[in-house]
Amino acid sequence: MGCALEMARAGADIILNDRPNSPNLAEAAEQIRALGRICEAVAADAHSREGCEALVAKALEKFGRIDILVSNPAVSIRCDFLDYEPEVFERIVKGTLVAGFHISQLVGRHMVDRGGGGKMVFISSVHADRPYGRSAAYNASKTGLNHMARTIAAELVRHKINVNTIEPGWIDTPGERGTFGDEMIAREEKNLPWGRIGQPQDIGKAAAFLCSDDADYITGAVLKVDGGFVLRDSMVEELLTDPDKQ
């Protein structure tokens, strides 16, 4: 939602997707329309090839062309490695990595066929670089997503299609609230380097930049948007104290 709103603020018309029976899709579409942009809300399973095909078909029916893709399908189910049910592991990989392949291939084919370039942004995670426990499937999926995106960038560069990746840190989403709870987030965000948990609009603004003309010369990049989240283990306490007291 954060990406869709910021893209709309930057002037984009939107095909907005969420899972079937989503309680939030209609409201989100209204917020985008309130910004003066066209928004078509499409309830489809973006984890499946068929769902992605439906999304692309609706976009082409509505607008005739696709200029930008922000790809953010994901499934995160935390579990000890030794206890992972194989079907759960496979569901996470399918919903996080394979789904990104489906939608980007379909959109990429359209962009190449129509000519004129395009923009793709994949939403990855700091989990791609760090082996956080109880997240083997998600970690592996996001690492694969990063490498897939760079490979796509290498293949599509001759078509002037920019392909980049954003790595969010700890972002305040309903999923994170459900996993950690309001109390824990309120307590722990004070200990984050930037002093707060990230907001969806932080990621949206980064996506809007990467899809803008200002990012014309950027492709194959991985942009970390985490408020220093991964720097926590590198911070030396003495550097945070008053220099006059050292």
Task: Kindly report, residue by residue over 167-193, the tens digit of the pLDDT.
Answer: 999 999 988 999 999 999 999 999 999
| pTM reported for the whole predicted model | 0.94
What residues does each domain of the chain span?
Answer: 67-229
pLDDT of residue 233: 82
Average pLDDT rounded to a whole number, residues 120-132: 98
Average pLDDT rounded to a whole number, residues 115-126: 98
Q: Quick one: CA torsion of 65, 7, 119, 143, rounded to 10 degrees?
A: -130
pLDDT of residue 1: 87
CA 88, 163, 172, 130 dihedral sign is positive
Radius of gyration of the chain (CA): 19
Catalytic residue positions, numbered = 138
CA 145, 193, 5, 9 dihedral sign is negative
Q: Using pLDDT thresholds of 50, 70 and 90, give the confidence band for residue 245.
A: very low
- Does residue 133 surpass a pLDDT of 50? yes
- Does residue 244 surpass a pLDDT of 90? no
Measured between alpha carbons, how far is 149 from 53 in angstroms, rounded to an integer?
Answer: 20
pLDDT of residue 240: 57
pLDDT of residue 246: 47
Q: Using pLDDT thresholds of 50, 70 and 90, give the confidence band for residue 65.
A: very high
User: What is the homologous superfamily of the domain 67-229 according to CATH?
Assistant: NAD(P)-binding Rossmann-like Domain (3.40.50.720)
pLDDT of residue 236: 67
Task: Kindly report, residue by residue over 91-114, the tens digit of the pLDDT.
Answer: 999 999 999 999 999 999 999 999
List, as one string, the DSSP characters of the chain: -HHHHHHHHTT--EEEEE-TT-SSHHHHHHHHHTTT--EEEEE--TTSHHHHHHHHHHHHHHHS---EEEE---------GGG--HHHHHHHHIIIIIHHHHHHHHHHHHHHHH-S-EEEEEE--GGGTS--TT-HHHHHHHHHHHHHHHHHHHHHGGGTEEEEEEEE-SB--HHHHHHH-HHHHHHHGGGSTTSS-B-HHHHHHHHHHHTSGGGTT--S-EEEESTTGGGGGG--GGGGS-GGG-
Closest to 120 (Cα-Cα) out of 147, 149, 146, 94: 149
